[in-house]
Amino acid sequence: MPKNKRSAKADKKCWSESYGVYGATIRLAEREPGGVLYLLWLDNKGKQQKRSLGHRDRKQGKKQAMELAGAMAGASGRGVVLAPEPAKPAVAEPLTLAEGVALAFDGERGLYPGQTRHAKQAKTMAEQAVSILEAHLTWADLTPGTILYLVRMLAKESTSGEGARSAEYMCVVLYAVAAWLRGEGKIPESAALPRPGWKAKLKEEWRVSTGRRVESQQPRHTVDEVAAIFAALTEGDPRLRLLVELAAELRAGQAVRARRTDLQLAGGGFGLGRFVVHGAGKKHGEVVDLHPELRELVDEVLSTGYLADAEAAYRRGEIEDYFLFPAGRLHRGMARVERATVQPLGPTAIRKMFVAVERIAGVEHVEGRAFYGLRRQATDLAPEFASDARVLNKLSGHLDSATRERIYQEKENQKVRARAAETRRSMRNFLREPDRPEDVAA
């Protein structure tokens, strides 16, 4: 090939320099133009040795070559073979969004304890966010500006202006993953920190981008609809009936995970037992004292109802525990013992059962209402029957102020819990009255 046709790269020669003194000479060289640097020297048998430095920095390479040459010169004899000094640990590359999400949703060591519905939904949201933001971005790149960019892209994809809640949830998931990664030491402490008031900024960004204001939607049933639903419970799935009677004012997602050991048949404000709802994370749990009508329903369910077989096995000591609201189909109105020990009803099953009862009650189904509609109406209705804030908090399972939690001891809590049970009973009786006043909490 004529010289003038050759590329500039072909004309380049590999760079190299030697350091040290005779008998302890180290050559620093690259194997290809601009390539990784190597150290080369002769051992005491005259055989060439080499070691890759793993980088292209000539200044750093010269320093390493002179250190090795000095060590060889100071050793006894000439050309002595020195064990290559251990390579310095490579500085880890910053974690990318895709890598962080993969770590967070690892089934064994990740953020979530198992492949729950919530975990799967969160993973889908996180992966969708990564696909929009580009997987190679690092978590340090997840700045408030990047979050706003994500929201704008989601708003751009919305044809009707809807989707603000999904966009917010997607951002919540990203920030949750980032918090977990920071806790695990995977990303810097300063990476991906949410700015105060970011949710309000998101809503404003959505309004500007779509022209649609983000309203807080918390649909609830009317008092008449709640009364109709309670009346129709006996015609629906018995598991839903027990769940609603025990925990209509509480969080269904927590109550439905209750086991037989969470149902105590002694003690409480009425002396008839208690139903324990365990908290989860920031969601506070609660203890429900059984009033007479509620205890009557519990006895019915355990003796002749859908839990009769499981309760009999439990009392005989054949099983250690079982779920009060087991998943799966009932067989001739009964829960199979083996199924009752596996898992509780899922949110989809509860929602279908509730929709069926709404249909029986003649109540229109509103998306996003369901069990939440009962709880929200209970929050509105309860002040008509009790004025003590502590009673209202016990009734709905809401936390009080941290100060109040520290001040009131368990003895006081027991009194308040008992009064909450009385209020719950009064509300149930009110809903069953045929000549109920129409203007109460309407």
The CATH number covering residue 249 comes to: 1.10.443.10
Tokens of 395: 């009734």
pLDDT reported for residue 316: 95
pLDDT reported for residue 139: 93
The per-residue pLDDT for range 268-294, each reduced to its tens digit, is 888 999 999 887 655 667 888 898 999
Same domain, residue pair 391 and 415:
yes
The per-residue pLDDT for range 73-85, each reduced to its tens digit, is 665 444 444 444 4
**Average pLDDT of the segment spanning 206-229:** 73
Question: What φ, ψ does residue 138 adopt, rounded to 5°?
Answer: -95, 170
Q: CB atoms < 10 A from the CB of 245, how many? A: 19
Residues 371 and 373: their CA atoms lie apart, in Å, by 5
Find the domain containing 420 and state its range.
223-432
Same domain, residue pair 52 and 173:
no
pLDDT reported for residue 395: 42
Q: Enumerate the β-bridge partners of residue 20.
A: 25
Same domain, residue pair 169 and 228:
no
**Of all helices (H) and strands (E), which one includes residue 28?**
strand 24-30
Same domain, residue pair 188 and 269:
no
Same domain, residue pair 422 and 348:
yes
Residue 4 domain flag: no
Same domain, residue pair 107 and 69:
no
Same domain, residue pair 56 and 103:
no
Whether the CA torsion 219, 223, 228, 232 is positive or negative: it is positive
Q: Answer yes or no: is pLDDT of 34 > 50.
A: yes
**Average pLDDT of the segment spanning 150-171:** 86
Question: What φ, ψ does residue 155 adopt, rounded to 5°?
Answer: -65, -35
Tokens of 423: 């209020």
| From 39-43, 50-54, 89-93, 122-126, the region with the lowest mean pLDDT | 89-93
Same domain, residue pair 204 and 283:
no
Same domain, residue pair 123 and 29:
no
Domain closes at, from 184, 210, 236: 210
Domain closes at, from 167, 187, 210: 210
DSSP codes, 221-274: --HHHHHHHHHHGGGS-HHHHHHHHHHTTS-HHHHTT-BGGGEESS-STTSS-E
**The total number of structural domains that make up the chain:** 3
Residue 218 domain flag: no
Same domain, residue pair 325 and 363:
yes
Domain closes at, from 168, 186, 210: 210
Residue 84 domain flag: no
Q: Which residues, in sequence order, are CB contacts of 260 under 8 Å at separation 6+?
A: 310, 311, 314, 321, 322, 323, 324
pLDDT reported for residue 378: 54
CA distances from 188 to 95, 106, 173, 288 (A): 10, 20, 18, 44
Q: Please, what's the b/e burial string for 340-354 (b: 16 or more CB within 10 A of its CB; e: otherwise)?
A: bbeebbeeebbeebb
Residue 64 domain flag: yes
Same domain, residue pair 144 and 169:
yes
Residues 420 and 414: their CA atoms lie apart, in Å, by 10
Q: Are residues 180 and 136 in contact, defined by beta-carbon separation less than 8 angstroms?
A: no
Residues 261 and 363: their CA atoms lie apart, in Å, by 35
Residue 413 domain flag: yes
Same domain, residue pair 41 and 183:
no
Tokens of 38: 């190597």
